[in-house]
Structure 1
Amino acid sequence: MGLLGILLALGLLVWLAYRGWSVLLLAPAAALIAAAISREPLLAHWTQTFMGSAAQFLAQFFPLFLLGALFGKLMDDSGSVEAIAGFMTERLGARRAILAVVLAGALVTYGGVSLFVAFFVLAPMAQALFQAADIPRRLMPAAIALGTSTFTMTAFPGTPAIQNAIPMPFFGTTPFAAPGLGIIASAIMLGFGLWWLARSEAAARRKGEGYGSTDIAPRIAADDPIIRERATTAREFDPAEISHGRHGNTLVPIGFAVLPLVVVVSVNLLMSLVILPRLDFSFLAEPRWGATSLSAVAGVWSVVVALATAILTLILVNRQRLPTLRESMDAGANASVLPAFSVASLVGFGAVVAMLPAFAMVRQWVLSIGGGPLVSLAMATNVLAALTGSASGGMTIALDALGDTYMRIAAEQGIDPALMHRVAAIGSGTLDSLPHNGAVVTLLAVCGSTHRESYLDIVMVGIVSALVALVAVIVLGSTFGSF
Structure 2
Amino acid sequence: MSFIVCLAALFFLMFVAYRGFSVILFAPVAAIGAVLLTDPAAVPVVFSGLFMEKMVGFIKLYFPVFLFGAVFGKLIELSGFSRSIVASIVKLLGPGRAILSIVLVGAVLTYGGVSLFVVVFAIYPFGSEMFRQVGIPKRLLPAVVALGAFSFTMDTLPGTPQIQNIIPTTFFHTTAYAAPILGLVGTAFILATGLSYLDFRRRQALKAGEGYGEGHANEVVIDHATPMVSPFVALLPLVVVGAANLVFAQLLPGWFGPTATATLVPGQHEVAVATNVWGAIWAVQAALLLGIFTVLAFGYTAIAGKFAGGSKDAVSGALLAGLNTASEYGFGAVIAALPGFLAIKNALSAIPNPLVNEAITVTTLAGITGSASGGLSIALGAMASQFIANAEAAGIPLEVMHRVASMASGGMDTLPHNGAVITLLAVTGLTHRQAYGDIFAITLIKTAAVFAVIAFYYLTGLY
Aligned to 2:401: 420
Q: Indicate if the aligned counterparts of 1:219 and 1:446 stay in contact, CA closer than 8 A.
A: no
Aligned to 2:255: 279
Q: CA deviation at 1:325?
A: 2.1
Aligned to 2:345: 363
Q: Indicate if the aligned counterparts of 1:419 and 1:482 stay in contact, CA closer than 8 A.
A: no
Which deviations, in whole Å up to 9, do the C-alpha atoms of 1:143-187 show, x marking residues without a partner?
Answer: 111110000001000000001011110000100000000000001
Which deviations, in whole Å up to 9, do the C-alpha atoms of 1:165-218 show, x marking residues without a partner?
Answer: 1111000010000000000000100100110111111111111111111x3122
TM-score by length of 1: 0.90
- Confirm whether residue 252 of structure 1 aligns to residue 229 of structure 2: yes
- Using the TM superposition, name which of 32-41 and 193-202 deviates more: 32-41
- Confirm whether residue 314 of structure 1 aligns to residue 295 of structure 2: yes
Indicate the RMSD between aligned Cα atoms, in angstroms. Answer: 1.9
Q: CA deviation at 1:475?
A: 1.3
Q: Indicate if the aligned counterparts of 1:84 and 1:258 stay in contact, CA closer than 8 A.
A: yes
Q: CA deviation at 1:413?
A: 2.2
Which deviations, in whole Å up to 9, do the C-alpha atoms of 1:214-252 show, x marking residues without a partner?
Answer: x312289xxxxxxxxxxxxxxxxxxxxxxxxxxx96522
TM-score by length of 2: 0.94
Please tell me the residue identity of whatever aligns with 2:97. R
- Confirm whether residue 350 of structure 1 aligns to residue 360 of structure 2: no
- Confirm whether residue 325 of structure 1 aligns to residue 307 of structure 2: yes
Identify the match of residue 477 of structure 1 among 446, 453, 457: 457
Unaligned runs of 5+ residues in structure 2 are 264-268
Aligned to 1:226: none
Q: Partners of 1:286 and 1:381 in 2: how far apart?
A: 36
- Confirm whether residue 398 of structure 1 aligns to residue 375 of structure 2: no
Q: CA deviation at 1:278?
A: 2.8
Which structure 2 residues correspond to residues 155-304 of structure 1 after superposition, within 5 A? 155-213=156-214, 215-218=215-218, 250-273=227-250, 275-284=251-260, 292-304=273-285
Q: CA deviation at 1:360?
A: 2.1
Q: CA deviation at 1:286?
A: 9.6
Residues 479, 79 of structure 1: CA spacing in aligned structure 2 closer, same or farther, 3 A cutoff? same
- Using the TM superposition, name which of 410-419 and 76-85 deviates more: 410-419
Q: Indicate if the aligned counterparts of 1:93 and 1:129 stay in contact, CA closer than 8 A.
A: no
Please tell me the residue identity of whatever aligns with 2:313. A
Q: CA deviation at 1:289?
A: 7.7
Q: Indicate if the aligned counterparts of 2:103 and 2:148 stay in contact, CA closer than 8 A.
A: yes
Which deviations, in whole Å up to 9, do the C-alpha atoms of 1:253-305 show, x marking residues without a partner?
Answer: 212211100001110111123x2243233443899788653222111111111
Identify the match of residue 419 of structure 2 among 434, 438, 443: 438
Q: Indicate if the aligned counterparts of 1:416 and 1:481 stay in contact, CA closer than 8 A.
A: no
Please tell me the residue identity of whatever aligns with 1:318. G
Residues 285, 398 of structure 1: CA spacing in aligned structure 2 closer, same or farther, 3 A cutoff? farther
Q: CA deviation at 1:26?
A: 0.8
Of all paired residues, the percent bearing the same amino acid is 40
Which structure 2 residues correspond to residues 94-105 of structure 1 after superposition, within 5 A? 94-105=95-106
Please tell me the residue identity of whatever aligns with 2:346. Q
Q: CA deviation at 1:477?
A: 2.3
Q: Indicate if the aligned counterparts of 1:188 and 1:468 stay in contact, CA closer than 8 A.
A: no
SS of 1:284's equivalent in the other structure is strand
Please tell me the residue identity of whatever aligns with 2:446. A
Moved over 6 A (4+): 285-291
Q: Indicate if the aligned counterparts of 1:9 and 1:33 stay in contact, CA closer than 8 A.
A: yes
Which structure 2 residues correspond to residues 46-61 of structure 1 after superposition, within 5 A? 46-61=47-62
SS of 1:324's equivalent in the other structure is helix
Unaligned runs of 5+ residues in structure 1 are 221-247
Q: Indicate if the aligned counterparts of 2:412 and 2:444 stay in contact, CA closer than 8 A.
A: no
Please tell me the residue identity of whatever aligns with 2:333. A
Q: Indicate if the aligned counterparts of 1:106 and 1:147 stay in contact, CA closer than 8 A.
A: yes
Q: Partners of 1:283 and 1:388 in 2: how far apart?
A: 35
SS of 1:432's equivalent in the other structure is coil
